[in-house]
Each structure stands twice: as structure tokens, then as C-alpha cells.
A and B are shown apart, each in its own frame.
Chain A
Amino acid sequence: DIQLTQSPSFLSASVGDRVTITCRASQGISSYLAWYQQKPGKAPKLLIYAASTLQSGVPSRFSGSGSGTEFTLTISSLQPEDFATYYCQQLNSYPFGGGTKVEIK
């Protein structure tokens, strides 16, 4: 089975910071990767699919890159509403990464 490893699992950042989250796959998955944002008490929300395609309505400060086994989610300038937990998901066999919680420094 394909495993996804996210890092870091927790990060503390300030408004305006550039934030990068990494997702590594245990074997190559081409570009079959999505990123989600989850806020407390809410369902996950799709941010990016096919590794780098921004979902309609998602702010352009979010971007995704990578292919094969290493992927990144970048928030170019962190906003107060971006403090949340972020998950990657592989879209062949659907496992999720362990999550990255982004908190206010």
C-alpha cells in the first residue's frame, strides 16, 4: 500500500509568513495528489487537485507543486483564516497524509 508522510506535523507561523508543507509518497504516484484544509468542527475543503491545480474559489496565495514522490503545498502570505489543519491525499488508492496543523505564533 502507498503511504503518505506529511511534514511537519505542526508548525507555528505569523500572519504574512510564507508557509510550505511537504507530502512524501512511499512510491511514485505521478500527479495523483490533492490537498485539503480542515478547520475545527468543519468538513475538509478541497484546495488543490492533480498536485498543482487550484480548486475554483480558492485564493491564489495557495499553490501546489511536485510529482512522483514529493509534493508541496505553499501558502505565499499566511492570512488569519488560514490557521487550520492541512491534509494531502493520494488519488489512486485514497490514503491521507497524517496532517499538518498550522497555528498562530
Chain B
Amino acid sequence: EVQLVQSGAEVKKPGESLKISCKGSGYSFTSYWIGWVRQMPGKGLEWMGIIYPGDSDTRYSPSFQGQVTISADKSISTAYLQWSSLKASDTAMYYCARHLGGAFDPWGQGTLVTVSS
């Protein structure tokens, strides 16, 4: 079964750093792009960026360029999303998803990030 399993919920303070993960299984992790999507409380889906784990080629949405860093460790089939200095406005659910042909499927279960002083 193809699966993406994300790391658990995080509670952080403004200014702290954070790295969340997305581990793929059941398929060739290096052969498919992995995307990250933000969903702020009560709001819609926003595409953040995408990485090809095979060579770490990474593309960012202009809205998120410079705000986050996307990376991958193909030796452990894991993609990452990280912040160097969190803000309260980073409070959201974050999803990873595999890019398969013309869509994203499957999706991880989501990681809730709460940033509060």
C-alpha cells in the first residue's frame, strides 16, 4: 500500500525553529515528486512547494519562497518542511502529498503546527 506518514503535532513559540517530516512507503520514493500544502484554520488549501527526492530538485510557490525550506533524505524515504523562525501566522495544518501524473495522491494525514507565546 502506498502511504505517506507525517510526524506528530507540534506546539512552538514564535522565533523557534521547526522541521516536520513525511515518510513514504510502498513505492519508489525517489521516482515521484512530493508536495507540501498549508491549510490555515478554517481556510482553503495553499500549495507551498514540491521536491523530487531523486535529485532534490525543489520548486517553491512565490508566496512561500524564502519563508520555508523543503528537503528530502532519500536514504530514509523522507521529505521535510522546515522553518528557521516561526511566526504565529504559521499556525496551520500541513499536508504532504505524492505527485502522481496529473494530481496529488495519496496525501499524508497532516501535521498540525501551533505557534503561540
Contacts and interface: CB of A to CB of B under 8 A. Distances in A.
Given A44-B95, A87-B44, A94-B47, A49 B107 contact: no
Nearest to B62: A1
A43 B46 contact: no
A46 interface: yes
Nearest to A90: B47
Contacts, number: 58
Interface in A1-41: 1, 31-32, 34, 36, 38
B102 A44 contact: no
A5 to B, nearest CB: 12
B45 A99 contact: yes
Interface string B95-112: 101000111111111100
A98 B102 CA distance: 19
Interface residues of B, number: 21
Contact of B103 (A49, A98, A99): A49
A94 B77 CA distance: 23
Contact of B47 (A31, A53, A95): A95
A53 B103 CA distance: 11
A96 interface: yes
A43 B44 contact: no
Interface string A63-105: 0000000000000000000000001010100111111000000
